[in-house]
Structure 1
């Protein structure tokens, strides 16, 4: 049976990568929503004019793409119901460059709106929630992880943070802290819904590493980000593995998603074990 997949934040970088990849699979019918059809701000942040001039959002066909705000409960509900969506890949979020108010409105309230709607639909089977390694970026504020933020090679082996370690937001500034907390909030909300026996939806929280436009770790300056870098190919592999193993997975799970990087400090052993995820790429110190 063909699965109908809705991707929120479809005009963003990760949305475009996944739309292009998943659309090649005849087993998936891809839908998308975003509040606009322009390039997301992430493209501007990488500051690569040659890429920006060529890049256009990669979107589903016009009849399967909707302009919709994440807080528009009525329209969001209508899109999900009318198209009998089976799987939601929830990417829609504003970045840590936004105000605290906007972060809380879209990343927190918008996510709750989506989850509230989805959990009332019998045809929804799974939600893949795009969390972030920034949910644990607070660990970078202390050694031995602090060295990575200064591009200093650590003098000792790094104990890897696992999904069983407590989340820890960064305190770099108010917006960054709000962004980190918004991802932690999304995970906790997913866990709450998954613990409800009356809800049969599976919630997979993907703590995505640093994904950049050029798909090149050398364009990521700080090793705190480069050590969590995730290639486009490894991102697509992860999503493929989740979709292929959907019925074997627990009702709630968190995974760190990154490539095979030097001085990696987040652990994805459960990703290997549950999904047979094997990164093909990596960032190397030298």
Structure 2
């Protein structure tokens, strides 16, 4: 189906008529768009999706595509500033956890708006998950850098991208693990989702604790190599 994320009536009909129980919400515009467009699609559209999920009796879980950019404000200061300037770290960086405050980047108005739109989505998911009578689980995935080629070898000197990269294989594996562990998960979770990169700054321990079989496998190494391992079978989504 193709549908405008802002068309609540049509989205509701599609979800209702097809008895959809799990929504994987990845629709968004990037930080290259205008502030107004980011707010319209990423904020208003996300609220519409979440509202429909709560209103539809069949929906059990929403997997929300958030972003690692919810904490990109940390990269305006050391020890992360050097990485943002594409300077290779001399030692492992302190991990940013899901319990650390979100800080948007102030690089430019559109980047800031994009960061804030993803923070808004997480806050809304947290709010909805805790309302009385809510039966929908909201799982927020802070996705790392994902590109159209599933490769970072062209970014050999870009340490900020290499440290933040997420392979297709790891993204699919993570969603598989969420689906497999649906019954065990609480009403609300936030997870960082990245590959096993050198100088990865995101703490993913909670995903290994909650989703016992999840282990990121794509690698972005110090020499710029990207190594792929044979993927396990993944569920369609």
- Same fold by TM-score greater than 0.5: yes
Matched, 1:281 2:221: no
Structure 1: how far apart are the matches of 2:8 and 2:150? 35
Structure 2: how far apart are the matches of 1:222 and 1:195? 40
Deviation (angstroms), 1:121 = 1.0
Q: Which has the higher contact order (CA 8 A, sep 6+)?
A: 2
Partner of 1:52: none
Deviation (angstroms), 1:155 = 3.3
* Aligned residue among 80, 103, 108 for 1:173: 108
Partner of 1:96: 31
Deviation (angstroms), 1:162 = 0.3
Structure 1: how far apart are the matches of 2:14 and 2:49? 11
* SS of 1:119 mapped into structure 2: helix
Deviation (angstroms), 1:102 = 0.3
Partner of 1:228: 164
* Aligned residue among 255, 259, 275 for 2:191: 255
Q: How many pairs were matched up?
A: 221
Post-superposition CA distance 1:124-156 (Å, at most 9, x none): 000000000000111111111111122212234
Q: Which moved more, 1:155-164 or 1:123-132?
A: 155-164
Matched, 1:80 2:38: no
Deviation (angstroms), 1:264 = 0.6
Matched, 1:202 2:137: yes
Matched, 1:161 2:96: yes
Post-superposition CA distance 1:252-272 (Å, at most 9, x none): 000000010000111100011
Post-superposition CA distance 1:224-260 (Å, at most 9, x none): 1210101111111100000000000011000000010
Post-superposition CA distance 1:54-96 (Å, at most 9, x none): xxxxxxxxxxx2x211111111111111111100000000110
* SS of 1:134 mapped into structure 2: helix
Structure 2: how far apart are the matches of 1:114 and 1:74? 11
Aligned partners of 1:131 and 1:206 also within 8 Å? yes
Aligned partners of 1:140 and 1:224 also within 8 Å? no
* SS of 1:89 mapped into structure 2: strand
Structure 2: how far apart are the matches of 1:203 and 1:102? 24
RMSD of aligned residue pairs (Cα, Å) = 1.0
Runs of 4+ in 1 over 6 A off after TM superposition: none
Structure 2: how far apart are the matches of 1:201 and 1:71? 21
Partner of 2:180: 244
* Aligned residue among 43, 46, 70 for 1:108: 43
Aligned partners of 1:144 and 1:156 also within 8 Å? no
Matches within 5 A, 1:25-44: none
Deviation (angstroms), 1:222 = 2.5
Partner of 1:13: none
Structure 1 residue runs of 5 or longer lacking an equivalent are: 1-64
Structure 2: how far apart are the matches of 1:117 and 1:149? 38
Structure 2 residue runs of 5 or longer lacking an equivalent are: 224-237
